[in-house]
Amino acid sequence: MSKYQALLTRLGDVVSLREAMAVLGYDQQTQMPAGAAEGRARQLSTLARMEHEIFTDDATKHLIDDAENEVDDVYESDAVSLLRVVKQDYEEATKFPASFVEEWAKETTLAHETWVHARANKDFKAFESTLERIMVLAHKSAEFLGYKEHPYDALLGRFERGMTTAEVDRIFEGHRPRLVDLISRISQKPQVDDSPLHHHFEQDKQREFAMNVVQRFGFDTHRGVQAVSVHPFCTSFGVNDVRITTRFEDNFLNPALFGMMHEAGHAMYEQGVAQHLDGTMLSGGTSLGVHESQSRMWENVVGRSKGFWSWALPMLKETFPQLADVSLDAFYKAINKVERSFIRVEADEATYNLHIILRFGIERDLLGGKVAVKDLPKVWNERFEASFGITPPHDGLGVLQDVHWSSGLVGYFPTYALGNLLSVQYYNTAVAQHPSLPDEIANGEFGTLLGWLHDNIHAHGRKFTTAELTKRVTGGEIESDSYIAYLENKLGEVYGL
């Protein structure tokens, strides 16, 4: 056996352990009884320690070094790409003691259950001490990783490799004023009527319709399934086993319908990774920002387009006859209503990035020592009021609404906004190469778009960084002008700007 093959075998064990942990995490959020949290924390912390010890062992380093002498120096080849990515992962992983990895897994597993109950009871105090422990671990993680300017750089880099806090700040501040101006102009227009979205909708029928849509998009139910969770998510146990979850509301169509489109976008990315990369460390998405570009593209650029609903609305009316008298124009306006609201996952496209900018600033200040955990509800409400002009009536609609901190995902939030920007850049490039795409979408045909995404983004897995992939796909860098132009064009039609 060659050294490269020996390395693949060893790394295969690491990947299998990670997939096993993902299975346990999925089960925890979908059907595990709450009383099993202690046992699940023990299981996950043990597996996390084992995975870390195998990956960071000196034997792995020796195999990496030896394998480098066996492969041709072709940057885009599977072997060279795998070694490049694995070396970066190895360097990062070896900075953490196994005891810390075990502690992190245990603490975040237990924290999820605490967060679920605190959110349901709108009680931040019930989550405060847990979050304090997680933030202590987040600080330690940043110190282990090291950083040049800000501790947030270290954690951000785990989700968006190579990106810095200063760069995120520049991108956000570069388009935030234009978002604020657009929202202000919209607020001066008559409000859109979104009552068509607030009838009573049977959950079984919501699920059936949404599943039909995402299967038409290309979500492969032979290799993927859908379940229910408090906070929607997508997880993967390999290219051929991808899970999505949804939450439902009886009297609001958006969470289930657009939430399922969103998670299916993630899932189709995972399912689109080249089969020969399955079980290797090249499987999975390039970064969280690129992953979000896929979910937001299917949810918003496609799913909230007038062309899509010219095809889908007649079927929706068959499912829900209470919508029989709703016109295409009225429904299109309803799903694109711009409104200052509390919940990020239900936010419209114009206000969404403001939610992310708010969270980014709070996370950065938490890590920088400018904000204490105990003061989070007050800080959240003050900053939310400053950004949106409204104040959350309770913590369930405010600081407790997102699952991320309970999972230790500090540094994750900026990727959502980056994904919005990239979704439009990638889609515009696809349309430039396939001008018939809008007409195909209006006819319920999505194969050309999904095929283009598979070929240009999905199939590569983790071979390229976000910057490299974006350069390959669009010829340029991540930018916000395209996104603002997209919003102004769409919302200009909706609101007559």
From 107, 113, 160, 263, active-site residue: 263
- Inter-residue contact 450 to 434 (CB < 8 Å): no
Chain centroid, CA 230 distance in Å: 16
- Give the Cα separation of 189 and 497 in Å (integer): 8
Half-sphere CA count of 374, side-chain side, radius 13 A: 0
- Give the Cα separation of 335 and 396 in Å (integer): 24
69 φψ region: left (φ > 0), alpha (ψ -120 to 50), beta (else): alpha
Nearest in space to 297 (alpha carbons), one of 261, 335, 344:
261
- Give the Cα separation of 406 and 402 in Å (integer): 9
DSSP state, residue 236: E
- Give the Cα separation of 181 and 184 in Å (integer): 5
Q: Which DSSP helix (H) or strand (E) runs through 387?
A: helix 376-388
- Give the Cα separation of 153 and 364 in Å (integer): 9
Q: Is 477 a catalytic residue?
A: no
- Give the Cα separation of 128 and 111 in Å (integer): 10
Nearest in space to 247 (alpha carbons), one of 374, 99, 346, 322:
346
- Give the Cα separation of 421 and 172 in Å (integer): 10
Q: Which residues of 409-428 are buried (b: 16+ CB within 10 A; e: fewer)?
A: bbbbbbbbbbbbbbbbbbbb
Q: Give me the active site residues, please.
A: 263
